[in-house]
């Protein structure tokens, strides 16, 4: 199931990441959206670590591992029709 795989991948990413306190990581399936299944991914950065360096390391890695596992993100979209009168 995609949602379970996504949560497992996020949890593993946090555990493997330098600078993250893996004992405080939270990954949870929180809700059903109109067109989404919502996951909350919370990780705590260890005291003394460069916060933005850790975030900059983790966030692109999330995209990479989701793409590698054919998991999609729900991005808001909008269609605009220009009807000529």
Q: What is the pLDDT of residues 29-41, one digit of tens each?
A: 999 988 889 999 9
Q: What span, in angstroms and rounded, lies between the C-alpha atoms of 47 and 45?
A: 6
Q: What span, in angstroms and rounded, lies between the C-alpha atoms of 81 and 5?
A: 37
Residue 77 pLDDT more than 90?
no
Average pLDDT, the chain: 91
Q: Is residue 38 part of a domain?
A: yes
Q: Is residue 45 part of a domain?
A: yes
- Total structural domains within the chain: 1
* pTM beyond 0.75: yes
Q: Is residue 64 part of a domain?
A: yes
Q: Is residue 84 part of a domain?
A: no
Q: Is residue 39 part of a domain?
A: yes
Work out the average pLDDT over 5-19.
94
Q: What is the sign, positive or negative, of the torsion defined by CA atoms of 7, 41, 63, 35?
A: positive
Q: pLDDT higher for 85 or 24?
A: 24
- Could you tell me if 43 and 25 are in contact, meaning their C-beta atoms sit under 8 angstroms apart? yes
Q: Is residue 75 part of a domain?
A: no
For residue 17, the enclosing domain spans 2-68
Q: What span, in angstroms and rounded, lies between the C-alpha atoms of 28 and 61?
A: 18
């Amino acid at each position: 199931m995609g949602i379970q795989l996504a949560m497992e991948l996020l949890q593993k990413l946090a555990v493997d990441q330098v600078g993250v306190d893996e004992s405080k990581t939270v990954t949870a399936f929180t809700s059903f959206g109109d067109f989404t299944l919502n996951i909350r991914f919370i990780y705590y950065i260890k005291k003394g670590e460069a916060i933005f360096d850790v975030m900059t390391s983790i966030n692109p890695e999330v995209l990479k591992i989701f793409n590698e596992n054919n998991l999609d993100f729900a991005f808001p979209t909008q269609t605009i029709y220009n009807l000529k009168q």
